Amino acid sequence: MLPRIQESPTRILSATLTVSDLLDFQCTDEAPLLVEVDTTDDDGRTYRRSHIVAKLSEKHDIVKGHHEFTISFADPTLAAHTYGPEDKVTIHRMFFAP
């Protein structure tokens, strides 16, 4: 007898916000945080993917006079992205519906 697979409904909360507001979000195993990233392949095609955030760090850039935010991804093949505080990003928070 084959085991039954139970499907759990998943909901995704999406928001577009400034990078500086990302600091208010916590990324956990139970509620991963995903960020949309535009990627261009070798043929010049651009497409959008959502990637799990591993780490978000902030540093003050004295030369530019503002904070910069670096998002590191769980996928080691992706380079970290650095943003200014007013840059807009789209985030997704996945969670299982009760």
From residue 69, give the alpha-carbon distance in Å to each of 23, 48, 58: 9, 20, 5
| Closest among 81, 54, 85 to 67, alpha carbons compared | 85
| Closest among 75, 63, 67 to 19, alpha carbons compared | 67
pLDDT value of residue 64 = 67
Segments making up each domain of the chain, as ranges: 10-96
CATH class of the domain comprising 10-96:
mainly beta
In terms of Cβ atoms closer than 10 Å to its own Cβ (0-12, 13-18, 19+), residue 21 is: middle
pLDDT value of residue 41 = 75
pLDDT value of residue 1 = 46
Q: Which two tokens stand for residue 86?
A: 């007013």
pLDDT value of residue 45 = 85
Positions of the chain with pLDDT under 70: 1-15, 20, 22-31, 39, 64, 93-98
